[in-house]
Chain A
Amino acid sequence: MTTDTAVADATAAEDGAQPPATPSRSRRRRRQLWIFLAPAVLLNLVWGWYPLATSFVLSFTDARLRGDVTFTGFESYERMINDPLVAQAFRVSIIFAVLSIVLTFVVPILVAILLMEMPRRTMRWMMLLWFLPLSSVGTAILWRYVYNTDYGLLQSIATGLGFDRQPFLNSSDQVLFWLVIPGLVLYGPGLIYLATLQSVPTSYYEAAEIEGAGFWRKIWTISLPRMRPVILMMLMFAVIGNLQQFEWPMLMTDGGPGGASRTAVMYVYDILNQLRYADATALSILLFALIMLVVAVMRFAIREDPDAPPRRSLRELVTRKGDH
């Protein structure tokens, strides 16, 4: 940063003043601007906006296998809504998302806050160990083995503790719960929270200290409000990502038993494999609608302003508990 400010000081005189803009120069500038933007614009058009737009068009057609495509209105939507497997798949996706967010969303936030309390060197080491990544495909393979009902590690722990033999992934009631559990020891998002916390000036905490704020009070009135925009963004990503869960159920259960872990995206994939393109698109747009609905409700329910004071009653509750 020191070199930046040195440069900034040296040029303070010209600050804001653009270099002389002769016509040839500004034309060259505009050409350079387009050279910079062109590849990204092209790729985002072709692989972002174009498929998005045609997705809606395709869902109103009878596109399948081969041959001509004609518009059929809401037929694919009707077919999808009346398909009992769709309702089941949506239920699975929603339960999975709720379980996953309830069980795994808070831990990385807490960890990031607590990591900041460690001396600098300890923190560096702990950070390295906490956020060491494991491939998510690899994780799924490992847990499939751990959940094996005959010779898996968890079965031997369960029977060792005196429980009956557990069905784990073979139980249609429990399968979603067990699928969420591996996420408990993946703390990747904590890195983003940690980065956010590092930008909070220490003086805030010192000022709070002088005012007599305790441990929990500081977390509640300084750390969390500062992290709020990032937490909201991560929550949004978690909702969008978890409602589209595909990888772990596919690798660990393949949708079983009896479709009890077949998520909406897995069903889209199944239909796509049958080359029913219009139906698959219609189903994915239904899922899109659900996701947008959830996101809209979340935005409405949670106040955005990071500096808004927290609710009085909660604050008092926390303060009484936390003050030393």
Chain B
Amino acid sequence: MAALLPKVGMRQPKLRLSRAAIAAFLGLGVLLHLLPFYYIVSTSLKPGAEVVSTPPTFIPSAITLDAWKLVLQIGDNAEIVQLVQEPFWVYFVNSAFITLLAVGLGLPVTALAAYANSKLQSGRSARLSFLFFIGTMMVPFVVTLVPMYLLTLNFPFTLPDAPTIPGTDSEFPTLRLWDTPWAVILPAIFVPFNFLLFKGFFDTIPDSVINAARVDGGSELNIFRRIVMPMAVPVFAVTAYMSFGSVWDNFLWQLVTLQSPDKVTMSVATYQLIDRLSTKGTTGGGAAAQAEGMSDLLNSGLTWNGMMVLAILQSIPIFIAFLVCREYLLRGIKIRGLK
């Protein structure tokens, strides 16, 4: 607990006023922050006509679940099927599968590497492998975007086509990851920033604790499992929360790698739908095409209230991850000496 305001004389009117002013400022910020939450939920409960009426209503005149039903039964609706081929739960399950696998594999892989770097290596080799792991962190994602895309097309090669085997006419065999969930999962497993968080935490564990366990004859894996992991719950929670959010809410990479309607994730499907729904900027298709897409959607009854349902579905898992991990979030962040 910081003490910017003096503790002595806490009851002085001037100090009380300062404290109240801080509380009011924070309260106002909370209100501003919660406003979008309220507006999303209330809009999703409005009837379709009210959503596109002027002036917009802040409190729904009538509460209906029409938009929710429409979105959840999207596969049954002939008009919408032309725009999004699968029911939305398919996209939701795709997203969930990718995210859970990426986080579930990512945490142990990253944590073990960070632990090995922090406690099993020392001196020069430790510094070198630290640089090896962290070196890719500051590299902007866009630099590797194209080679990674080509890599998912022809797995071991970052070329548009697999090269031919010298002396023959046949091409090297390649593995196509593109348009499969693995194209999203594999690159998301090892995250340098998570490595940094884990390493920062493991560095604070005294070596003597580990050495004592070694004297008692524990194998390194058992030491990690029985002694280090229970101490590291907060940092596991932080990394789980952060990587969950970043995979679930990722957009660019999933847009690049996933294409077939049954493989697409929530964020991509939502983009495809919203692309049709509202009038685009001038870079998009012609005005006629927009009007057509618009009327298709309105015929089907899907409008902004349905989009808000999608926004809620997209937010709920992140929301839950936050609530689950919140107790540990502050304790788990120990970033030290980053240079």
- Complex interface: chain A residues within 8 A of B83 (CB): none
- Complex interface: chain A residues within 8 A of B186 (CB): 43, 46-47
Consensus secondary structure, chain B interface: helix
Chain B interface, number of residues (Cβ within 8 angstroms): 125
Once A47-B186, A138-B40, A195-B330 are accepted as A-B contacts, the answer to whether A114 and B282 lie under 8 Å apart by CB is no
Chain B, residue nearest A47 (CB) = B187
In the complex, what's the smallest C-beta–C-beta distance from A125 to chain B, in angstroms? 9
- Complex interface: chain A residues within 8 A of B168 (CB): none
Chain A, residue nearest B110 (CB) = A40
Which of B115, B211, B231 is A11 in contact with, Cβ under 8 Å?
B211
**Residue B132 is within 8 A (CB to CB) of chain A in the complex:** yes
Asked whether, in the complex, the Cβ of A254 is within 8 Å of the Cβ of B283, the reply is: yes
- Complex interface: chain A residues within 8 A of B252 (CB): 246-247, 250, 265, 269
Asked whether, in the complex, the Cβ of B145 is within 8 Å of the Cβ of A272, the reply is: yes
**Residue B170 is within 8 A (CB to CB) of chain A in the complex:** no
Bound: A295/B143 CA distance, A: 16
Chain A, residue nearest B141 (CB) = A244
- Complex interface: chain A residues within 8 A of B16 (CB): none
Bound: A111/B334 CA distance, A: 19
Asked whether, in the complex, the Cβ of A36 is within 8 Å of the Cβ of B112, the reply is: yes
Bound: A150/B53 CA distance, A: 9
- Complex interface: chain B residues within 8 A of A259 (CB): 283
**Interface size classification for chain A:** 35 or more
Which of A58-66, A94-102, A310-318 makes up part of the contact surface? A58-66
Once A141-B308, A144-B274, A287-B142 are accepted as A-B contacts, the answer to whether A156 and B281 lie under 8 Å apart by CB is no
Q: Interface code B18-49, partner A: CB below 8 Å = 1, 0 otherwise?
A: 11001101110110111111011001000000
Bound: A255/B43 CA distance, A: 26
In the complex, what's the smallest C-beta–C-beta distance from B208 to chain A, in angstroms? 5
Bound: A138/B29 CA distance, A: 20
Which B residues between 226 and 263 are near A, CB-CB below 8 angstroms? 231, 245, 248-249, 251-252, 255-256
Once A141-B307, A257-B281 are accepted as A-B contacts, the answer to whether A44 and B136 lie under 8 Å apart by CB is yes
- Residue of A116, A120, A141, A187 contacting most chain B CB atoms (<10 Å): A141
In the complex, what's the smallest C-beta–C-beta distance from A215 to chain B, in angstroms? 5
Asked whether, in the complex, the Cβ of B2 is within 8 Å of the Cβ of A134, the reply is: no
Asked whether, in the complex, the Cβ of A39 is within 8 Å of the Cβ of B113, the reply is: yes
Chain B, residue nearest A120 (CB) = B1
**Residue A302 is within 8 A (CB to CB) of chain B in the complex:** no
Chain B, residue nearest A217 (CB) = B4
Asked whether, in the complex, the Cβ of A8 is within 8 Å of the Cβ of B1, the reply is: no
- Complex interface: chain A residues within 8 A of B251 (CB): 137, 246-247, 250-251
Asked whether, in the complex, the Cβ of A262 is within 8 Å of the Cβ of B209, the reply is: no
Once A32-B120, A144-B278 are accepted as A-B contacts, the answer to whether A153 and B56 lie under 8 Å apart by CB is yes
Asked whether, in the complex, the Cβ of A236 is within 8 Å of the Cβ of B138, the reply is: yes
- Residue of A19, A39, A145, A185 contacting most chain B CB atoms (<10 Å): A145
In the complex, what's the smallest C-beta–C-beta distance from A214 to chain B, in angstroms? 9
Bound: A114/B40 CA distance, A: 28
- Complex interface: chain A residues within 8 A of B70 (CB): none
Once A8-B209, A215-B4 are accepted as A-B contacts, the answer to whether A133 and B319 lie under 8 Å apart by CB is yes
Chain B, residue nearest A65 (CB) = B160
In the complex, what's the smallest C-beta–C-beta distance from B180 to chain A, in angstroms? 15
Once A4-B231, A156-B56, A269-B256 are accepted as A-B contacts, the answer to whether A54 and B211 lie under 8 Å apart by CB is no
**Residue A308 is within 8 A (CB to CB) of chain B in the complex:** no
In the complex, what's the smallest C-beta–C-beta distance from B118 to chain A, in angstroms? 11
Asked whether, in the complex, the Cβ of A137 is within 8 Å of the Cβ of B270, the reply is: yes
**Residue A14 is within 8 A (CB to CB) of chain B in the complex:** yes
Bound: A10/B209 CA distance, A: 9
Which B residues between 201 and 221 are near A, CB-CB below 8 angstroms? 205-209, 211-212, 214-215, 219-221
Once A66-B160, A255-B283 are accepted as A-B contacts, the answer to whether A132 and B270 lie under 8 Å apart by CB is no
Asked whether, in the complex, the Cβ of A51 is within 8 Å of the Cβ of B144, the reply is: yes
Q: List 6 A-B contacts (CB under 8 A).
A: A50-B151, A118-B22, A138-B315, A209-B6, A262-B283, A272-B145
Residues of B whose CB lies within 8 Å of any CB of A are: 1-7, 14, 18-19, 22-23, 25-27, 29-30, 32-37, 39-40, 43, 51-56, 58, 109-110, 112-113, 115-117, 120-121, 129, 132-133, 135-136, 138-151, 158-161, 186-187, 189-190, 192, 195, 205-209, 211-212, 214-215, 219-221, 231, 245, 248-249, 251-252, 255-256, 266-267, 270-271, 274-275, 278, 280-284, 304, 307-308, 310-312, 314-315, 318-319, 322, 326, 329-335, 337-339
Residues of A whose CB lies within 8 Å of any CB of B are: 4, 7-8, 10-12, 14-19, 29, 32-33, 35-37, 39-41, 43-44, 46-52, 54-55, 58, 63-69, 107, 111, 113-118, 120, 122, 126-139, 141-142, 144-146, 148, 150-153, 156, 160, 169-170, 182, 184-187, 191-192, 194-200, 202, 205-206, 209, 215, 218-219, 223, 229-230, 233, 236, 240, 243-244, 246-247, 250-251, 253-262, 264-265, 268-269, 272, 275, 277, 280-281, 284-285, 287-288, 291, 295, 304, 324
In order of increasing CB-CB distance, the 3 nearest A-B pairs are A256-B281, A40-B113, A138-B311
